[in-house]
Amino acid sequence: MSFARIVHRAFSTQIAYAHCDIPCGIYDPHLAQLAALTTIRMNQLIAGLAVPAAGATPQEQAAYAAAVSRYVAVKEEHAELCKKELRVLWGDYFRPEHVQQNSD
């Protein structure tokens, strides 16, 4: 076993993720809603793009590829943000006492 592996095993750390250590009761789904709406809008924009015809110029093809790339990048970024915000809400807010109070 190499020295680097021994050091890594002896001093390795684990990453912990949390909204906070003390549940504050302040949870706003606004960021998740905004991210979800942005994701939906990017899907609409992608679907609305006119695919260049077979005889399109290289500039038209490049413009289409650039637009699709931008829309997909923004869509993926906001979809990840939405998932992150929903995980925080699910993991921190929906505690047993909240479920009992709001069983509907």
Write out the chain's pLDDT in tens, 104 residues.
676 677 667 676 666 555 555 566 667 789 999 999 999 999 999 999 999 999 999 999 999 999 999 999 999 999 999 999 998 888 776 777 767 877 77
pLDDT at position 13: 65
C-alpha 17/C-alpha 91 separation (Å) is 11
Q: Is the pTM of this model over 0.75?
A: no
pLDDT at position 91: 78
Q: How far is CA 57 from CA 49, 66, 98, in A?
A: 16, 14, 59
H helices present in 1-104, as ranges: 3-11, 30-48, 58-88, 96-101
Cβ within 8 Å of residue 68, ≥6 positions away: 46, 49
pLDDT at position 88: 83
pLDDT at position 20: 59
- Closest to 10 in 3D by CA, of 1, 19, 21: 1
